[in-house]
Structure 1
Amino acid sequence: MVNFSQRLGKLSPYPFVEISRIIAEKRAAGVDVVTFGIGDPDIPTPQHIIDRLLTASEDPSNHRYPETDGLPEMRRAIAHWYRQRFDVDLDPDTEVLPLIGAKEGIGHAAFCFLDPGDIALVPDPAYPVYSVGTMFAGAESYVMPLYERNGWLPELDAIPNDVARQAKVMWLNYPNNPTSAVASQEDLESAMRYCREHDIALLHDAAYSEVGYEGYRAGSLLQIDGAKDVGLEFHSLSKTYNMTGWRMGMAVGNADMIKALFQIKANLDSGVPQAIQEMSIEALTGSQDCIDENVAKYTWRRDRVLQALTRMGLKVDVPRASLYIWAPVPEGFTSAEFAARLLEETDIVVTPGSSYGQYGEGYIRLSLTTPDERVETGCQRLENWVIPSPTLRT
């Protein structure tokens, strides 16, 4: 009999794998499913970016192993983008590292900072990979609850002193997944000061910075004086340029932290394929028109879904950023129960808030990465659905 590691037994099913399975089963049975589940942009990668990939794929030099630290031109393109977007200067040789998507870098980061017995400060609700990476490294997650009453920001003064002394990293993510909350530069500066005071690495996931509504523009952690002393920021081309399938992201910030992440990656992966790096250079340095075009589409979808949820009787805050709507479930339901009833009775997929941690209970997340006509179909179903009494649950 084959024995497996104990860490496998600690893993919960990754929520989006389960969602994909349910959708596939329903559709195989001929059911017309509308999904607001996974945050995977339906909008195609812009043509000028694809054209660069096609050309690059014919270059024999791109048929060989890439380097873990990426093409020098790739690192310079990332530094150029940060300069143009955030007015942040980065040394492309020491403060920039391409990633095989931000998720890969986030998962590997735990091995740079954490040993068994160490503590990571992890928000809840949150993207599951922060805590999963911590567990893989043999460390423990200390949950920083995020509450609606506090704008979904961590209450740093509630962290016990003994926990702060053992903590090696703090994870933040703004604009936030799943809550869509935003953080001001003052909020990020408070977190940075806390981490500097306690010798904690501050790891900021900024993957949704380019999806903002009504003119909202998210800032970067690295715009704060002294952020490079303790800070590493993770970013992604996935949502900004509709490139989820191409797997391109980056980590930027403190040079020693970049070097540590490079050392981990150099032993575990062979870097981003060079043709994909070339298309990513085009994305970062070429026309940025697709960003505003994306936001215009997401704005219509956001407003239409908000309209449907309001007509259902749900009280939902209007997101200023990100691809998600975070909606409270009716009283008497858990998030999983309400999501299950939606699927059973309307063939609509949403993600239960409990998938993002214990403090996500009581909410559902709806993604806006569904084609307009499917959004309209789903919204009509929501508006015509009579929310059942929780006493009639199965």
Structure 2
Amino acid sequence: MTEEFHRIRRLPPYVFAEVNTAKAKARAAAEDIVDLGMGNPDSPTPPHIVAKLIEAVQDPRTHRYSMSKGIPGLRRALAGYYDRRFGVKLDPETEVVATLGSKEGLANLAQAISSPGDTILVPNPSYPIHQFGFIIAGASARFIPYTPDDAMLAAIDRAVRHSVPKPTALIVNFPSNPTALLASREFYKDLVALALKHELFILSDLAYAELYFGNEPPPSVLEIPGAMDCTVEFTSLSKTYNMPGWRMGFAAGNQRLISALARVKSYLDYGAFAPIQIAAATALNGPQDCVADMRVLYKERRDVMVKGLHNAGWDVPSPEGSMFLWAPIPERFRHLGSVGFSKLLLDKAKVAVAPGLGFGEHGDGHVRIALVENNHRIRQAMRGIKGFLQGDNAGPPEPIKELSGKELSGA
């Protein structure tokens, strides 16, 4: 009875645990840590959404079981959003399912469409559920490049021709967590054509659709002709409306995939609490000034952080979307790996970041820095990083034992 359960054996140790333990120890010692590790929005949910929740929860009829695939009004609201934002027409009855956040939707779709031995194509690095949702379901992941370009397309084509069994689905995530990269419509056109050619499903994670800093909003894969034949896209209210704890997301697209997800969910849950769904519909249907304000806020934070890091001597690209900086580890600390460098940054600069290894072994040369503190706290973090990088202690420290490439889980 001591043998580990089969599905648990397939999950590696939690990569972020070492940094989280060190962070908890520092806080217990009353150290002021600026936590830029988790992508957890710090701004409040807009008042009109909260007000609708309070109104709805006062109606005792909303306290009963809800609908697993989401109440009709919420599914219509999501369809309306896709029509306004992307010019995509969705049938709320057959092409939309409300989920308990996009993470739950991805994991349950993996259960619905995967068999043991199936192969799924997953970018590396990428958000952990992209890989481990399918691993938990019994499938295997084959890694492909994470950049939305010809290299990814060529890798997909190569994987289909040389994998046995042939891959059944591929995952894309743009704007990306953790890399912050955006994809173009031209890339999606080529991707859809390739998927149709090879009979692959596309699973698109579009959780950061509204977090962009240029003039051109990120597109949806579903905008592309033919995409509805092979694509399901996941979205979330967590970042767009500062509603992470509400756990409200959606899957939209191909009827066969949506039907499979809805059927699995019907055995597992009764949907989110009805007042949350009612408030979520208000978020989608109501004034969108709060979304524009959110973009301005994150852009200001991005600019403060990038400028501060550059002043500290750390050359970090300025992202065009998402709420993250994907920062290459400075050369003289590369030997530490991302976990060792994150622990050193916590110890010396009093700043917590997410080690890139948690998003896949190809992320080990980076750390992810989240824009989840106000500008005052970000400047404080930048001063700490500058003091560390430019101080006498900035030389190569003693190597810290790195985690193996197997230790890749996280959030």
Structures share a fold, TM > 0.5? yes
1:188 correspondence with 2:188: yes
Which residue type is aligned with residue 256 of structure 1? R
1:207 correspondence with 2:245: no
Superposition map of 1:1-394 within 5 A: 1=1, 4-15=4-15, 20-146=20-146, 155-159=155-159, 161-163=161-163, 166-332=166-332, 333=334, 334-386=337-389, 388-390=394-396, 392-394=398-400
Partner secondary structure for residue 331 of structure 2: coil
Equivalent position of 2:408 in the other structure? none
TM-score, normalised to structure 2, is: 0.91
Q: Distance in 1 between matches of 2:372 and 2:190?
A: 33
Aligned-pair distance for 1:165?
Answer: 5.7
Structure 1 154/134 Cα, relative in aligned 2: closer, same or farther at 3 Å? farther
Superposed CA offset, 1:364-390 (max 9, x none): 110001222211211121122236222
Superposed CA offset, 1:194-223 (max 9, x none): 111111110000000101103231111110
Q: Distance in 2 between matches of 1:356 and 1:223?
A: 28
Structure 1 364/148 Cα, relative in aligned 2: closer, same or farther at 3 Å? farther
Q: Distance in 1 between matches of 2:364 and 2:315?
A: 16
Superposed CA offset, 1:106-141 (max 9, x none): 111111221011100011000000111111111110
Aligned-pair distance for 1:261?
Answer: 0.2
Which stretch shows the higher mean deviation, 195-204 or 306-315? 306-315
Aligned-pair distance for 1:6?
Answer: 1.9
Unpaired segments ≥5 residues, structure 2: 401-411
Structure 1 15/277 Cα, relative in aligned 2: closer, same or farther at 3 Å? farther
Q: Distance in 2 between matches of 1:114 and 1:160?
A: 17
- Contact 1:207 1:234 (8 Å CA) reproduced: yes
Superposed CA offset, 1:287-314 (max 9, x none): 1011111111111111111112212322
Partner secondary structure for residue 385 of structure 1: helix
Q: Distance in 2 between matches of 1:315 and 1:135?
A: 35
Structure 1 260/148 Cα, relative in aligned 2: closer, same or farther at 3 Å? closer
Identity %: 37
- Contact 1:147 1:153 (8 Å CA) reproduced: no
Which stretch shows the higher mean deviation, 154-163 or 335-344? 154-163
Partner secondary structure for residue 386 of structure 1: helix
Unpaired segments ≥5 residues, structure 1: none
- Contact 1:252 1:258 (8 Å CA) reproduced: yes
Q: Distance in 2 between matches of 1:151 and 1:374?
A: 38
Q: Distance in 2 between matches of 1:258 and 1:149?
A: 28
Which residue type is aligned with residue 59 of structure 1? D
Partner secondary structure for residue 159 of structure 1: helix
Which residue type is aligned with residue 369 of structure 2? L
Which stretch shows the higher mean deviation, 17-26 or 148-157? 148-157
Q: Distance in 2 between matches of 1:130 and 1:154?
A: 20
Q: Distance in 2 between matches of 1:17 and 1:90?
A: 41
- Contact 1:118 1:139 (8 Å CA) reproduced: yes
Equivalent position of 2:403 in the other structure? none
Partner secondary structure for residue 251 of structure 2: strand
Structure 1 91/237 Cα, relative in aligned 2: closer, same or farther at 3 Å? same
Aligned-pair distance for 1:152?
Answer: 8.1
Aligned-pair distance for 1:151?
Answer: 8.9
Q: Distance in 2 between matches of 1:148 and 1:226?
A: 19
- Contact 1:114 1:134 (8 Å CA) reproduced: yes
RMSD: 2.0
TM-score, normalised to structure 1, is: 0.95
Which residue type is aligned with residue 257 of structure 1? L
Number of aligned residue pairs: give it: 394
